[in-house]
Amino acid sequence: MSVALLWVVSPCDVSNGTSFMESVREGNRFFDSSRHRNLVPNERINRGGGKQTNNGRKFSVRSAILATPSGERTMTSEQMVYDVVLRQAALVKRQLRSTNEFEVKPDIPIPGNLGLLSEAYDRCGEVCAEYAKTFNLGTMLMTPERRRAIWAIYVWCRRTDELVDGPNASYITPAALDRWENRLEDVFNGRPFDMLDGALSDTVSNFPVDIQPFRDMIEGMRMDLRKSRYKNFDELYLYCYYVAGTVGLMSVPIMGIAPESKATTESVYNAALALGIANQVTNILRDVGEDARRGRVYLPQDELAQAGLSDEDIFAGRVTDKWRIFMKKQIHRARKFFDEAEKGVTELSSASRFPVWASLVLYRKILDEIEANDYNNFTKRAYVSKSKKLIALPIAYAKSLVPPTKTVSLQR
């Protein structure tokens, strides 16, 4: 692991009161250190009382669930999530109408700090290159502003995921996630805690990015702490939205919709959401064995039962005909989400289309590999070989050259 990736936490003094400058200095010192730590801030760095604000945005998927008077849900997860899509789309439209609205910037980019900010973005780029090589390559075609903004978002998502998936995962509590959320609010209020947060703070002040998908990703991590089974696909959909659909919603405001696109903003966000869901469902299908060894089953329990399967079958890891039939249905559903996503990629601004096509084409190929492994996702990890990637990338590039549709075809 390269030194650029190592997240170092001071044993004594990290508090939320640290200014950006101090944080950056700390960051530099830490990054120059040869002590090896991981990317994720641990308990200690998360502690501290960042002021909780709601940033004027009160809706959350979680509150929508809790808001029902009888305690019973009246909407499907998909309907609830669509509200977040509408909010993000509305934010983008507002910005198109009035660019002035986004002129209140945090106090980072004042002369003198610009070098530090650019260093912060460079760190994000290094992290991205280390964790997601192919995707990072794809971002090279984007404009420098968009590329570095995507890097900053990638790094925040990666750090958030590492809280529950990384080496410090066993120390992560709901309270630690609350502190991470406080820190997120600070990022959106122009009070970044460290240099990587500083890059994100700058990004969200320059692009019309709503905080809600970020909050919701943290909610997904909370869900991971308290839940290891999903009753049906509706429950699983919500989880997939939290941890991956949110990424689509965060990314489109950066990538931009092509000016010549006739598609509605909502429909493009809907496609972005679909790509996140497709990726996460694929990720789940690829990792069934690995997750089972951690006692987790991210598969709809009702569909397992209908197929005559149970958790025990999964823990036993036997590839039977029942399993193959079950898997075929799950793969079919994932492909439907990829199809839904495809409709939106063409509507993105021209330079942003390639990384998205590349990620879509490559991630969808994992499904083909699960089939090629005869549905043994218990002991074989499906992956796309370098040679297959090399063949797929020019195809993705060719797709990215297709301009947006001339007609209004994506109305919802």
Ligand X SMILES: CC(C)=CCC/C(C)=C/CC/C(C)=C/CC/C(C)=C/[C@@H]1[C@@H](COP(=O)(O)OP(=O)(O)O)[C@]1(C)CC/C=C(\C)CC/C=C(\C)CCC=C(C)C
Q: Quickly tell me which residue has 């005909």 as its tokens.
A: 321
275 binds, among Mn ion, ligand X, none (CB under 5 to 8 A by kind): ligand X
Q: Which is nearer to Mn ion, 78 or 165 (CB)?
A: 165
Site string for Mn ion, 124-163 (x = CB under 5 A): -------------------------------------x--
Query: Residue 261 is encoded by which pair of tokens?
Result: 């696109």
Q: Which is nearer to ligand X, 18 or 346 (CB)?
A: 346
Rounded to the nearest angstrom, the gap between the alpha carbon of residue 131 and the centroid of all alpha carbons in its chain is: 14
Q: Which is nearer to Mn ion, 25 or 381 (CB)?
A: 381
**Shortest distance (Å) from residue 388 CB to ligand X:** 16
Site for Mn ion in 164-193 (CB under 5 A): 165
Q: Which is nearer to Mn ion, 135 or 323 (CB)?
A: 135
Phi, psi of 298 (to 5 degrees): -95, 55
Site of interaction with ligand X (CB under 6 A)? 135, 150, 153-154, 157-158, 161, 165, 243-244, 247-248, 251-252, 268, 271-272, 275-276, 279-280, 283, 341, 344-345, 348, 355-356, 359
d(CA 320, CA 309): 10
Phi, psi of 238 (to 5 degrees): -60, -45
Phi, psi of 385 (to 5 degrees): -65, 160
**Shortest distance (Å) from residue 125 CB to ligand X:** 13
287 binds Mn ion (CB under 5 A): no
Rounded to the nearest angstrom, the gap between the alpha carbon of residue 91 and the centroid of all alpha carbons in its chain is: 19
d(CA 201, CA 182): 14
d(CA 289, CA 308): 19
Instruction: Find all residues with CB under 8 Å of 231, minimum gap 6, and list them.
Output: 300, 301, 302
Site for Mn ion in 375-404 (CB under 5 A): none
Whose CB is nearest to Mn ion?
165
Q: Which is nearer to ligand X, 18 or 280 (CB)?
A: 280
DSSP E strand boundaries for 273-386: 297-300
- The residues of the shown chain that bind Mn ion, judged by CB under 5 A, are 161, 165
